[in-house]
Structure 1
Amino acid sequence: MPAGWVAGDEVYGGNPTLRADLETRQVGYVMAVACDHRVTTVTGKYRADELVERVAKRAWQRLSAGKGAKGHRFYDWAWISLVGGQDEPAGHRWLLVWRNRRTGELAYYRCYAPGRVPLATLVRIAGRRWTVEESFQTSKGQTGLDEHQCRTWRSWYRWTTLVLLVHAFLAIVTVTARATPVPTGLVPLTLNEIRHLYNALVVTPVADIQHVLHCSYWRRRHQYRAHKPTTSANRSRSHEDHEARLEY
């Protein structure tokens, strides 16, 4: 499957061979680099943290790196044009800088694109790396991505392919299920809940289907209440639910 962009952490961003190979293939990338990573501009060679001190205040832009659990993730971003070497492929190169508005924390990204792209595109790709990492964590927890013993390449490849296929199946079912309005008092179906139901109703069918569905509704109802702001009335209701749960 062809990829339009590559994203990675400092391990990959600091690898000049990998960056050169991607540029030769004309594949854009946004990869994190360390604060002491050296880059070249029209005025000379600098460390990334030295170069960011030269960025004017008006150069920072507040952009979203994508949606998180609590909505859009807005941060300050700035970019600085870099100069490529004479033996490097044609294209556009930048140093992308991320800044947390509350803490002032900084992060740096080495970027490349065959053609000119807006800052918002680089920010979107940087944010996608977090989504990819979240997907890996979900695959490990829900479908066993990290449970193979890696004895041979072929067996590892088959295992990983099947695991990611299962993850894709669960993700598609989750999105499809969420297209239907959720009943009042329940959280939307999650990938974890769908996996649990699929195992209980399809993989190893149980005799009492109604019991499984009742337990699923019970979990979603209590998850919904757990996300609501706590008030005196809710605290009283939570105590009653706790007593009912013990009895159940």
Structure 2
Amino acid sequence: MVASIEATLELWASSLRDVKGRMRPLFTQDRVAASAGLFLDGLLAEERRKTGWMRAEAAGDPGPWRQQAILGRGRWDADALRDIVRDYVVEHLSDDDAVLVLDETGFLKQGHASCGVGRQYTGSAGKITNCQIGVFAAYASRHGHAFVDRAPYLPKAWTGDPSRLKAAHVPVDVGFATKPALALAMIHRAIEAHVPFAWVAADSVYGVGDIEMALRRAGKGYVLGVNANSQFNSWIGKPPVAGTAAEIAEGLDPAAWQRLSAGKGTKGERLHDWAYLELADLEAAEYDKHSSGLWTRGLLIRRHVADGELAFFTTWCPAGTPIETLVQVEGRRWAIEDSFETAKNELGLDHNETRSWHGWHRHVSLVMLAFAMMSAIRHKANGAIPAKRGVEARALNRR
């Protein structure tokens, strides 16, 4: 079904009223709440650059001061807005088989004063450059996808410099945390908030023991990237396997590979060759006394059709889970890549002009709210709508 232009515009207007109403209790004064609403309008407007001056012009303000105050001088809780976004996403996109996707993205920056900035690698630029890094969690279901959590990564050059932390208004209780540790905290928050999901997917940055054990204890399946030199061994009752992931892949019989789709992308089905090895069947009760039944630890291998490049994933799933399911879960990682691209190109995710800890969290959380609203509208509209000007048409029609 395709919604009419009139129905979609009404859905757009009602959704915008709804999300503004949800964040209204965060502000003690009506004028500040109104400025926050105008900030959200600016993020959703047609302008490609979401600078303070651009948002101010769209809001009819003589300068960017009110817009800047929302991110800096104002007093409101960005984590409370994060929770509002998460609850909104669950309300509109909830599915028990959903995948929580973890990944990071870079924000290119000049200078050294912006919170967490430094010379570090970011996949956004494909190189080491001066940037901030943000770790994100996205909720991906059959209804759509949207961000539900975020955290800035602070390098040791920051956490080891109290004067620098103070200048950026970083809370005194914030210390160094690895990217996997930030992601693990997001997993715990999602579980504590009773977010319905069955799986976690992430690249090799997050394929670490702490995350694996936490998910096993929580009764969640996972498909987590690992490095080629990660060691794997099978247990009693499974075909003998031992060695690094790369060595195991090299020794596979050609018949072990299957060509499967990880889901549709912008250019059609994302086809790769896949192999899956079951390594051990374990009782779920060993990790969670409230769970029962056998779960399987395994190794999933992806081979690029064109150049043969390999990628490796450690897996945990209910016994009997077919390879097709694991491939689809891994394919859900595309959702967060699409989210980063859309949020940066359409909603100004990387247009934050503040330097402080609070400014980063506030800006990113407001963008998350705008993105969640777009995802909910798209789901409600049951598909793409006739093309029209503005971000609402471009974002709703993304694939």
Question: Which TM bucket (shorter chain)?
Answer: 0.5 to 0.7
Q: 1:83 is paired with a residue of what secondary structure?
A: strand
Amino acid at match of 1:194: A
Letter in 2 for 1:61: Q
Q: In structure 1, what is the equivalent of residue 311 of structure 2?
A: 107
Tell me: CA distance 1:117–1:85, structure 2 relative to 1, closer, same or farther (3 Å). closer
Q: Does the CA contact (< 8 Å) of 1:22 and 1:28 recur in 2?
A: yes
Question: What secondary structure, in the 3-state scheme, does the structure 1 residue paired with 2:332 have?
Answer: helix
Residues 25-34 or 48-57, more deviating: 48-57
Correspondence for 1:165 among 363, 369, 375: 369
The answer for the alignment partner of 2:230 in structure 1 is 37
Correspondence 1:9 to 2:213: no
Aligned to 1:23: 216
* Shift of residue 147, structure 1, vs aligned partner: 4.1
Cα distance between partner residues in 1 of 2:272 and 2:302:
7
Structure with the larger RCO, 1 or 2 (CA within 8 Å, 6+ apart): 2
For residues 189-228 of structure 1, what are the structure 2 equivalents within 5 Å? 192=391, 194=393
Residues 58 and 169 (structure 1), Cα distance of their counterparts in 2 relative to 1, 3 Å cut: same
- Other-structure match for 2:356: 151
Cα distance in 2, alignment partners of residues 191 and 124 from structure 1: 32
Amino acid at match of 2:206: Y
- Preserved contact between residue 27 and residue 114 of structure 1 (Cα < 8 Å): no
Structure 1 residue 121: deviation in Å?
Answer: 0.7
Change (3 A) 1:161 1:103: same
Change in 2 beyond 3 A, CA 1:88/1:34: farther
Would you say 1:66 and 2:260 are equivalent positions? no
Q: 1:157 to 1:137 in 2, by over 3 A?
A: same
Which runs of 5 or more structure 1 residues have no equivalent in the other structure?
183-187, 197-248
Residues 374 and 392 of structure 2 are in contact (CA less than 8 Å); yes or no, is this contact kept in structure 1?
no
Please state how far the C-alpha of 1:3 moved relative to its aligned partner: 2.3
Choose which of 262, 266, 272 in structure 2 pairs with 1:75. 272
- CA 1:189–1:46: 2 relative to 1, 3 Å: farther
CA RMSD of aligned residues (A): 3.0
Q: Unaligned stretches of 5+ in structure 2?
A: 1-194, 288-293
Matches within 5 A, 1:111-150: 111-148=315-352, 149=354
> Is the 1:174–1:194 contact (alpha carbons within 8 Å) kept by the matching residues of 2?
no
TM-score (norm 1): 0.65
Asked if the contact 1:63–1:75 (Cα under 8 Å) also holds between the matched residues in 2, the reply is yes
Mean alpha-carbon deviation: is it higher for 29-38 or for 166-175? 166-175
After superposition, give the CA deviation of every residue in 1:204-232 in whole Å (9 maximum; x if it has no partner). Answer: xxxxxxxxxxxxxxxxxxxxxxxxxxxxx
How many aligned residue pairs are there?
188
What is the CA–CA distance in structure 1 between the aligned matches of 2:392 and 2:370, rounded to whole Å?
A: 14
The structural deviation recorded for 1:38 is 0.7
Secondary structure of residue in 2 paired with 1:3: coil
Within the candidate set 298, 302, 305, 1:98 is matched to: 302
User: Alpha-carbon deviation of 1:18?
Assistant: 1.2
Change in CA separation of 1:49 and 1:69 when aligned onto 2, cut-off 3 Å: same
Which structure has greater helix proportion? Answer: 1
Q: Output one character per residue of 1:42-71: Cα deviation in whole Å (capped at 9) or x when no partner.
A: 335310011112322222111111111111
The 10-residue stretch of structure 1 (66-75 or 158-167) with the greater mean CA deviation from structure 2: 158-167
